Structure 1
């Protein structure tokens, strides 16, 4: 008997409840009516992109609020966020773990917990701790696409903590990750090389990972 089955039989919640599955994903990337980019590429600055992407997280947090009979925007919600942050790995959906961090303010740097100043040790610790969920849940309770989606959103919420090429890669990928796609290792390596070559604008015109990875070399680099 698996641990999840045992806990279920005891009337206890199973570990690593999945996240981000209450809201349907688009079948393919679509243009944003606000910023004109593919939905997600303007995240988090574009209000429409942010709303569409964050809905995956909000739906799970809303369900937790309802289960706990807590109202949003209250001290009780912040107390719940602290409880989620302090809980053992796998006690809550990864989306709820992220939302809890987004609600909390770092007492050291004043930013969002896990997304504050680059030199903030507390934020670095909180950001590092969240990924234990992924490492222990993959591939059963979390798909590779969900992991990549989580990484991209976390990176775009704290671009100052990452290299420019990584941020550009997440921005390019997010619309396709949102639609359920995932690049192969070779595709990701090729796209990164093209980004390093300064070809973001050309990559942004592509409509899937395959097209980006097969963008031809410039004549003088062939």
Structure 2
């Protein structure tokens, strides 16, 4: 199979334009992305960045979407050299392949499934080995958010909640800093999900004032 591009580690997720701001979903009413992956509209808006690259790969290989050859192509993509395809195509191929051990979407099984664990490890190897600027910090955050939410039942509740709340802003181009992530998770541990959900940005979530009984004494 011919690689999608001669360039090693071709970038992904850049064909459709990103939204300029987080906006309400017409289906679930929350900000677009917060219903991912159960809300069909949220899932469609988020997955469009993966689907666009996968569609380009299908066209280049002369494969029809939904045909048996598509799953065969997915298997080949996963077996190909690291960096031969955009990270979005690697992720989409994992969705099309069923784990031979736990029979779930590859990479979303429980932590004890070695097949899912190996696939997930290979997924993140792309991020670490890619050349500079091939993947932005925001794209890594978007990838991490979606991967976490697709395997939510096997992730810590606080981590799932963090990405659930943050995804609309990440989708619009924002990237949580380490400090923002710590603050938001602290608020989540304080059961302030509703307060966080009302904030209109990552910054606004992070700067929520501490509750009086949790404010450290001088």
Q: 1:205 aligns with which of 181, 190, 198?
A: 198
> Cα offset for 1:111?
0.4
Determine the structure 2 residue equivalent to 1:3: none
- With structure 2 as the length reference, what TM-score do the two structures score? 0.94
RMSD in angstroms over aligned alpha carbons?
1.0
> Cα offset for 1:138?
5.7
* Structure 1: gaps of 5 or more residues: 1-11
Residues 139 and 201 (structure 1 numbering): CA distance in 2 closer, same or farther, change over 3 Å? Answer: farther
- 8 Å contact from structure 2 (residues 9, 131) kept in 1: no
Determine the structure 1 residue equivalent to 2:165: 172
Q: Does 1:90 align with 2:101?
A: no
Q: 2:19 aligns with which of 12, 26, 29?
A: 26
- 8 Å contact from structure 1 (residues 138, 144) kept in 2: no
Structure 1 runs of 4+ with >6 Å offset: none
Determine the structure 2 residue equivalent to 1:69: 62
Residues 138 and 206 (structure 1 numbering): CA distance in 2 closer, same or farther, change over 3 Å? Answer: farther
Determine the structure 2 residue equivalent to 1:5: none
The 5 Å alignment of 1:177-192 reads: 177-192=170-185
Q: Does 1:137 align with 2:107?
A: no
Determine the structure 1 residue equivalent to 2:37: 44
In structure 2, C-alpha distance between the alignment counterparts of 1:123 and 1:135, rounded to whole Å: 19
In structure 2, C-alpha distance between the alignment counterparts of 1:187 and 1:78, rounded to whole Å: 39
- With structure 1 as the length reference, what TM-score do the two structures score? 0.93
The 5 Å alignment of 1:115-154 reads: 115-137=108-130, 139-154=132-147
SS in 1 for 2:129: helix
> Cα offset for 1:175?
0.3
C-alpha distance after superposition, 1:82-122 (max 9, x if no partner): 01001111100000000000000111111011112342111
Tell me how many residue pairs correspond in the alignment: 211
Deviates more, 1:18-27 or 1:134-143: 134-143
In structure 2, C-alpha distance between the alignment counterparts of 1:125 and 1:187, rounded to whole Å: 30
In structure 1, C-alpha distance between the alignment counterparts of 2:158 and 2:132, rounded to whole Å: 27
